[in-house]
A and B are shown apart, each in its own frame.
Chain A
Amino acid sequence: MAWTFGRKVGIGFGLSFAMVVLVGVLGYRSIDTLIANNARVTHSHLVLEKVATVLTMLKDAETGQRGFVITGDQAYLEPYETALTALHVQVADLRRLTADNARQQSLLDEIEGITRERITELKRVIDARRVDGFEAGAAIMLAGRGKQQMDDLRRLTSAMDHEERTLLGERTTAAEGGAGAAKLGVGVGVIVAVLFVAGAGASITRSLGSQLGTAAASIRSSSAELQAAATQQASGSREQLSATTEVATTIRELLATSRQITESAQRVSRTAEETLAGAKSGTATVEGASETIAAMKRQIDLVVGHMLELGKKSQQAGGILDLVNELAEQTNILAINATIEAAGAGESGRRFSVVADEIRKLADRVGGSTKEIRALVDDMRAAVNTTVMATEAGVKTVDAGTTRFADVTTSFERIAALIGTTTDAAREIELSTKQQVTAVEQVSAAIGNVAQATRESDAGAKQTLQAASELTELARQLLRMVDSAA
Chain B
Amino acid sequence: MKGSDLALVFRAGSGILAALPARHIVETMRPLVCEPLTGAPDLVIGATVLRGRPAPVVDAAVLLGAPASTPARRWIGLDVGGRAVALAVSDVIGLRQLPEAAGGPALPPLLATASRAAVGALSVLDGELLVVLAAARLVPDDVWRSLESAGDRRGGARDAG
Interchain CA distance A340-B1 in the complex, whole Å = 13
Are B3 and A336 closer than 8 Å at their CB atoms?
Answer: no
- The listed residue with most B CB atoms (<10 A of its CB), out of A340, A350, A357, is A340
Inter-chain contacts of A336 with B (CB < 8 A): 8, 28, 92, 94-95
Q: Quick one: given A333-B74, A357-B94, A360-B94, are A340 and B28 in contact (CB under 8 Å)?
A: yes
Interface residues on A, range: 10 to 19
B27 close to A337 (CB less than 8 A): yes
A6 interface residue, CB < 8 Å from B?
no
Enumerate chain A residues within 8 angstroms of B95, measured Cβ to Cβ: 336, 339-340, 343, 353, 357
B50 at the interface (CB under 8 A from A): no
Q: Are B3 and A339 in contact (CB under 8 A)?
A: no
B27 with A339: CB separation less than 8 A: no
Kindly identify, within residues 85 to 136 of chain A, every residue whose CB is under 8 Å from any CB belonging to chain B. Answer: none
**A341 to B, closest residue via Cβ:** B27
- Which B residues are CB-close (under 8 A) to A357? 94-95
Instruction: Give chain B interface residues in 80-95, CB to chain A under 8 Å.
Output: 92, 94-95
Would B25 and A340 count as touching, CB distance under 8 A? yes
Q: Enumerate chain B residues within 8 angstroms of A350, measured Cβ to Cβ.
A: 1
B118 adjacent to chain A (CB < 8 Å)? no
Q: Are B30 and A333 in contact (CB under 8 A)?
A: yes
CA distance A343 to B95 in the complex (A): 9
Residues in A whose Cβ lies below 8 Å from that of B22 = 340, 343-344
By a CB distance below 8 angstroms, the chain A residues around B143 are none
Closest-CB distance, B75 to chain A (whole angstroms): 10
Within 8 A of A (CB), among B55-73: none
Q: Which residue on chain B has the smallest CB distance to residue A337?
A: B27
List residues of A (328-349) whose CB comes within 8 Å of B's CBs. 329, 332-333, 336-337, 339-340, 343-344, 346
Cβ contacts under 8 Å, B30 to chain A: 329, 333
Is B150 part of the binding interface, using a Cβ–Cβ cutoff of 8 Å? no
B28 touches A333 (CB 8 A): yes
Q: Does residue B6 face the partner (Cβ distance < 8 Å to A)? A: yes
CA–CA, A308 and B120, complex, Å: 56
Q: Mark B14-29, 1 if CB is under 8 A from A, else 0.
A: 0000000011011111
Q: Which residue of chain A lies nearest to B8 when distances are taken between CB atoms in the complex?
A: A340
Chain A residue at minimum C-beta to C-beta distance from B27: A337
Q: Collect the chain A residues with CB atoms within 8 Å of residue B92's CB.
A: 332-333, 336
Chain B nearest CB, measured from A372 CB (Å): 17
Size of B's binding interface in residues, CB under 8 A: 16
Q: Closest CB-CB distance, B3 to chain A, in whole Å? A: 6
Complexed CA–CA distance, A333 and B93 (Å): 10
B6 to chain A, nearest CB (A): 5
Are A343 and B3 touching (Cβ within 8 A)? yes
Residues of A312-332 whose CB lies within 8 A of B: 329, 332
* Complex-state Cα separation, A333 to B32, whole angstroms: 14
Cα A357 to Cα B8 with chains together (Å): 12
Distance A339 CA – B25 CA, assembled complex (angstroms): 11
B6/A343 in contact, CB under 8 A = yes
Query: How far, in Å, is A20 (CB) from chain B's closest CB?
Result: 164
Closest residue of chain A to B91, judged by CB?
A: A332
**Which B residues are CB-close (under 8 A) to A329?**
30
**Chain A residue, CB-CB nearest to B25:** A340
Q: Which residues of B contact A353 (CB under 8 A)?
A: 95
A337-B28 CB under 8 A given contacts A343-B3, A343-B22, A346-B3: yes
Chain B positions within 8 Å of A346 at CB level: 3
Q: Which of chain A's residues 342-376 have a Cβ closer than 8 Å to chain B?
A: 343-344, 346, 350, 353, 357, 360
Q: Is the CB of A339 within 8 A of B29?
A: no
Are A339 and B74 in contact (CB-based, < 8 A)?
Answer: no
Enumerate chain B residues within 8 angstroms of A343, measured Cβ to Cβ.
3, 6, 22, 95
Complex interface: chain B residues within 8 A of A337 (CB): 27-28
Measured between beta carbons, the chain A residues less than 8 angstroms from B26 are: 340
Interface string of B26-65 (1 = CB under 8 A from A): 1111100000000000000000000000000000000000
Q: Within the complex, what minimum Cβ distance (angstroms) separates A368 from chain B?
A: 13
Counting chain A CB atoms within 10 Å of each CB, the highest count among B6, B26, B28 belongs to B28
Residues of chain B within 8 A of A360, CB atoms compared? 94
Nearest neighbor of B26 in chain A, beta-carbon distance: A340
The docked-state distance in angstroms from the alpha carbon of A337 to that of B95 is: 10
B92 to chain A, nearest CB (A): 6
**5 A-B pairs (CB sep. < 8 Å):** A337-B27, A339-B94, A340-B8, A340-B27, A344-B23
- 13 further A-B pairs in the complex, CB-CB below 8 A; given A333-B92, A346-B3: A329-B30, A336-B8, A336-B28, A336-B92, A336-B94, A336-B95, A340-B8, A343-B3, A343-B6, A343-B22, A343-B95, A357-B94, A360-B94
Please provide the 9 A-B residue pairs with the shortest distance between their CB atoms, ordered closest to farther: A337-B27, A339-B95, A336-B28, A340-B25, A343-B22, A343-B6, A333-B28, A336-B92, A337-B28
